[in-house]
A and B are shown apart, each in its own frame.
Chain A
C-alpha cells in the first residue's frame, strides 16, 4: 500500500511491464507455422549433391540416371541456374579495396569448400530426391587447399580466387594518436595473442524455404525462414529479373535465427530458380549435417594485442592486429568483413584512452563462409580488451574491479568519441560496475576462493565490461551500397469495431517483437493489449523495413510503432472532437473510451467513433474524411548507433585433474535504455549469455587438414545443455536514448558480447596459482590440461 504510484499504475500502461507474449500460446500448443511445416498443393522437394572436396575442379557431371528415376522432375546444375539467376558479389563500397568472387546458386566448374552444393534434384519426395543424388556421378580434379589463416597468408601458395594476387579479401587500418610514443613511454606493457575458433548458430529449426513461382501470374511467392523478408524480396526480384511488386516473401514462425538466417545461401537461390524452371512450389529444408557444412560459421579470429599503461595503471594505448579467416567467399549482401571491422572498432570501447592502432586482415580459405552471427565481433573485441585489462591488473597488483573503476569512461563524461571513431551518447559503465560488485558479493566470493584453494579446489572469478552496437542507421550497410533498410514502417488501423491492427516491418523470431509492439500500441492509444493485433513478416502486407537484426526491433521498430500510434490517436481524437463538439486537446483515451482529459469522465467508446466514421460518415461535418488508418515510417537519426553497455561477472570451478570447467553462477548488469518488457529483456539476456557460454566452453567447428568438417552433427558438436548452465542473475540500469521518444536500445547481443571474455578471465583467475594461462576460445578440457602441462 505504501509504494508510490508509478507510471505503470496508469490504465493501459504497458511500457515497462512484464506481460507474456500472446503468440507464445500457439507455439506451446504445437501450432507453430514454421516453413518446415508447410505443404502446398503440387509441391516438390529439392535435395542437393554436395562436394566431398574442399577445393577441386569439376571435370564432368553425369546426371542421366538420376533424371530417369521415377518421381524425379528436374536435375539442375550450375549452368542451368546461371541462365536465370544473375551472380552476386559479397562486397560493400565503403570497405575500400575489398574483393570477393562472384557467386552463383551452384558452381559452374570449381568447388571451393567441402559441403558446397553442386547439383540440385527436384522430386516428388525428399527421399526420392536423395535416391537420385546417389545416381549422379561427378568427376573432380583435386586442387591444393588453403586450410587456415597461416596458409592463407603464405605467399606463393594456392589461390582461392584465380586471377587475384593473394588470398586477402580486405585490409584495413585504424591509427589514432601516437601509439609508438605511448608504448615507448609506458610504465607497463601487457601483450597477448588470442585465438577464437569457428562456431555456428545451430538454430533448432534448420534453414527452410518453399519457393512458389506461378508462371500464369508471373508472381514469385517465397515462404522463407528468414529474419529479413524485405531484403530477400529485393534480392529475388533483382537476381531473377521479376518486378519487386510481384515478389512476395513470407516469414512466419522462425525456429531460431541469431543472424544466421539473413544471409544469402546458395541453396535458397537455387530453390527459387528451380521453382521458376518448374513453375511449381519447391521445398527445401536443410538437414542437420547440411546445416553444419552450409550455414554460415562465425568468429575464426587470431588477434595479437598489446596495451600500454602508466605507473598508476591508467591505460595509455592499445595496438592490435586481427587476422580473420572467412571461407571461400564473402557473404552477400552484408559481407564477411563486418565482424573484423567491428572487432577492431570495439576493442577498448569501455575505456578512456586516446592512442589506438589496429590492423585488420580478412583472408579467404577453403571453408564455408563466416559472417554475421549474434553479437557480431563483440565477443572477440571484449575478450581481447578484458583479458589485457586483467593481465594489466595482475602486473600492477590491482584488483580487477579497481583497474576498471580507474579506467572505465566516467558516467558523467558523455557524449564521448572512442579512439576508433564511435560516438557514444550516454553509457553507464561506472554504475554497472558498482552494481555488479554488490550483486556478486565480490568480497565474499574472493574469500571463499582463497579458502577453497587451500583444499585444492580452484575457483575463478571473471568480470568483463562491454559496449554493444544497437539501432544501426543507414551508415551501417546503406552507405556501402547494400539495399538493406535502416528504416522501418508501420500501418496501424482502427477496425470498425474499435480494435487495432498493426502491420509492422520488424519481424518475430521468438524475441517477443509482436508482444512489445502490441504493448507500445496499447500504451500509446489507451487500449487493453488484447485489443491490439500485430502482424509481421509478409512483404505483401507489411510495409518495407529493415526487420529484426542487429538489435533494432525495439529501438527502431518500437519507435516506429509509437509514432504511428500517436498519429492514429490524433486522428481518432479529431473525429471524437467533431462528434462531441470539443477541442481534441480536451480529450484523452483510457481503456478504449474517449474521456475528458481533465476529469477522466467517459464521453464515448472509440468503437462508437469507428462505427460512425466507417458506417455513418454522413453524420460527420461536411468535408470530414476519417483517417483511421495511419502509415508511418521511421529512420534513426542523430547518433549512427545507439550503443548500450553493461558488465558481466561469473564464478566457476576448474577441475585441474580433468580440465573440466563447471559454471557456478553468472551475473549481468545491463543498460539497454528504456525497458519495454523486463521479462522479455531478461530472457534475451539469459539466452544470449548461454550462447556466449557455448562459444566459451564447447562450440567449435573443427576441420581436418583436408578441409573436412569433422564434427558436423549434434552428437559431435557440443552446444550448452541445461545441466552445464548456471543460474543467471540480472540487474538493469536504464539510460534511455534521447534520439527517440521511446528511448529504447537493443539487448539481444549483450549476453553473448561478454560471456566468453568473462569465462576467459575467470579460468585464468582459477589457474593463477599454477602460472598457467589460457588464450584460446573455446576453453576445452584439453586446452586447460595443456596449459597446466598435464596433457
Chain B
C-alpha cells in the first residue's frame, strides 16, 4: 500500500499569487489558501516583529495595520489581504510615526520580554490617531485586547498617556 493521498497533496500544493504594499514596498508572494497573513508576514516576508501569541485573535501580539487599521494578522488569510497596504512594526519603526511612543516605552520600561510589545505599539498608535487625549481609563480599555504577562500594564498606560499629552501640546496628532 502506498498510502499516498492525492487530495491532501493537491491541497498542500495549491498556491495563490497575492500582492501587497508592505511597509511601503510592493511585494508579491505565493501563498497557500490556508496560510494566514501572520504566516505570510513572518515566513515568506521574514517580518518576524509580528508575533503569534494565541492564533485566535485574543492576545493582540499579531496586530498590524491593514489599510490604516489595526487588524489581527492571525485571523486573516493571506489571500484576503491581496491588494492591501500593510504596515508592520518594522515599517512603523522605519517611517518614524511611532518613534515618540517607542521612546516613551523605552524611557519608562513599559515592556519586559517584549513579545507583546509590537502589538501594543500598533494598538497604541491606532488609539492615538483616533482619540487625541484619551483618559487613562480609555487607554486601559483600548489595550484590553493586548495581553502582557510581564508588566503590570501601568507603565504602558503611563507611556501612552504621556505621548498623548506631548502630542496634543505640540498641536495634535503627528
Contacts and interface: CB of A to CB of B under 8 A. Distances in A.
Contact of B61 (A66, A204, A719): A204
B8 A512 contact: no
Contacts of A205: 51, 53, 113, 115
A30 B88 CA distance: 9
B69 interface: no
A288 B56 contact: yes
A536 to B, nearest CB: 14
Nearest to B35: A127
Contacts of B117: 27-28
A34 interface: yes
B49 A30 contact: yes
Contacts of A67: 3
B114 A714 contact: no
Interface stretch (A451-459, A576-584, A682-690): A682-690
A28 B102 contact: yes
Given A24-B114, A28-B102, A32-B114, A288 B55 contact: yes
Nearest to A33: B48
Interface residues of A, number: 67
Contacts of A287: 55
B113 A719 contact: no
A32 B2 CA distance: 44
Nearest to B116: A204
A64 B5 CA distance: 12
Contacts of B148: 204, 722
Interface in A27-59: 27-32, 34, 36-37, 39
A60 B46 CA distance: 41
Interface stretch (A89-97, A254-262, A341-349): A254-262
Given A21-B109, A27-B111, A32-B49, A714 B58 contact: yes
A312 B90 CA distance: 65
A447 interface: no
A226 interface: no
Contact of A728 (B8, B121, B154): B154
Contact of A510 (B48, B139, B150): B150
Interface string A499-517: 0000000000111100000
B140 A30 contact: no
B93 interface: yes
Interface of B is mostly: loop
Contacts of A257: 113
A71 interface: yes
B109 A255 contact: no
Contacts, number: 201
A203 interface: yes
A68 B121 CA distance: 45
Contact of A680 (B47, B51, B109, B154): B109
B140 A723 contact: yes
Interface string B98-137: 0000100111110111111110010000000000000000
B88 A714 contact: no
A575 interface: no
A204 B113 contact: yes
A725 B51 contact: no
Nearest to B113: A510
Contact of B152 (A135, A204, A285, A686): A686
A109 interface: no
Nearest to B43: A39
B20 interface: no
A679 interface: yes
A570 B2 CA distance: 72
A595 B150 CA distance: 43
27 contacts: A20-B106, A21-B109, A24-B106, A25-B102, A28-B117, A29-B89, A36-B52, A37-B48, A66-B3, A68-B2, A69-B4, A127-B12, A127-B34, A131-B11, A135-B8, A203-B149, A204-B59, A204-B148, A253-B114, A288-B54, A509-B113, A686-B151, A687-B112, A714-B54, A722-B141, A725-B153, A725-B154
Given A511-B112, A687-B149, A722-B143, 18 more contacts: A27-B114, A29-B49, A32-B49, A34-B48, A68-B2, A68-B3, A204-B51, A204-B149, A205-B53, A255-B51, A256-B149, A288-B53, A288-B56, A683-B152, A686-B152, A714-B58, A722-B157, A723-B140
